[in-house]
Each structure stands twice: as structure tokens, then as C-alpha cells.
Copies of this chain bind each other. A is one copy, B any other.
Amino acid sequence: MAGNENSYEGRQNHIRTLALPAIEVFENIYPDRDYNIHLNFPEFTAICPKTGLPDFGVVDLDYTPDKVCLELKSLKEYFLAFRSVGIFHENVVNRVLDDLIDVARMRSAKISVVYNARGGIVTTVSRSYNRA
């Protein structure tokens, strides 16, 4: 296992606290209904921390709102902020879902990101959340 302190994985611990634009929400006028919102954002791009080259991916979000819904314009700006961030695939998925749960307290949520092939390998990372 690669473990020296200069390794790239070490340099990613700051991802959990990296400053990113705020995601706004708006009032759900049907909080008395359980329903699902699916958002597909096919133009995600970030920087690979190892090579400095851009990565490209397709983000799918799926959630059951509680009191608020995600406001799309601020969500788009939040995703655009990754354009110059060096971040690994796994961390994008976890950081984004943590942020969404923080701001919208949804009843349940799923996220997946399918990345364009690098080195002949296509990577998809996904995670589900159910409010206890």
C-alpha cells in the first residue's frame, strides 16, 4: 500500500473541508407528499490530482425532498466550482452528497458519477443515503 506522507492520497484529506459555493434551497410546497426528484448534470469536470489534467463525468442525483428542494441555479454554480479543483473520483461523490444532505435534509438521496475513461478504465462511483 502506498503510504508515504507525500503520496497524493494524503493530499486529499482537505477535501472534506474545502470551501465550495453555497447550494441554495427553496420551500417544498408539497411536503405532505413523498415524491422523487432526479437531476442529471452531464457536464461535470474537475482536475485529476495526479496528472493535473481535466476529468469529465456525468452526475446523477436522486432525492426525496422534505421541507426544501435544491435550487438548480446555485447547484449548477456549485458543480462549476469543481472545474479548477484537484479531486479524486471517490471524493467528489462523498463530498457532494455530504453537502447536499447538510443543506436540504432530504428524506433519502442517491448520487452517482460516471467518469470518462482514463487509461482505458471507466470509473463510476455512487452512494445512497436514507435519513434515519
Contact = CB atoms under 8 A, between A and B. Distances in A.
Contacts of A8: 26
Given A9-B26, A41-B120, 6 more contacts: A12-B29, A29-B94, A30-B90, A39-B123, A40-B117, A42-B120
Interface residues of A, number: 63
A30 B120 contact: no
A122 B122 CA distance: 15
Please tell me how many copies of the chain the complex holds.
10
Interface string A24-49: 11111110011111111111010000
27 contacts: A1-B25, A2-B25, A2-B26, A2-B71, A3-B27, A9-B26, A9-B27, A16-B30, A29-B90, A29-B91, A30-B90, A33-B97, A35-B90, A36-B127, A38-B123, A40-B117, A40-B122, A40-B123, A41-B121, A42-B120, A42-B122, A43-B56, A69-B90, A75-B121, A117-B117, A117-B120, A118-B120
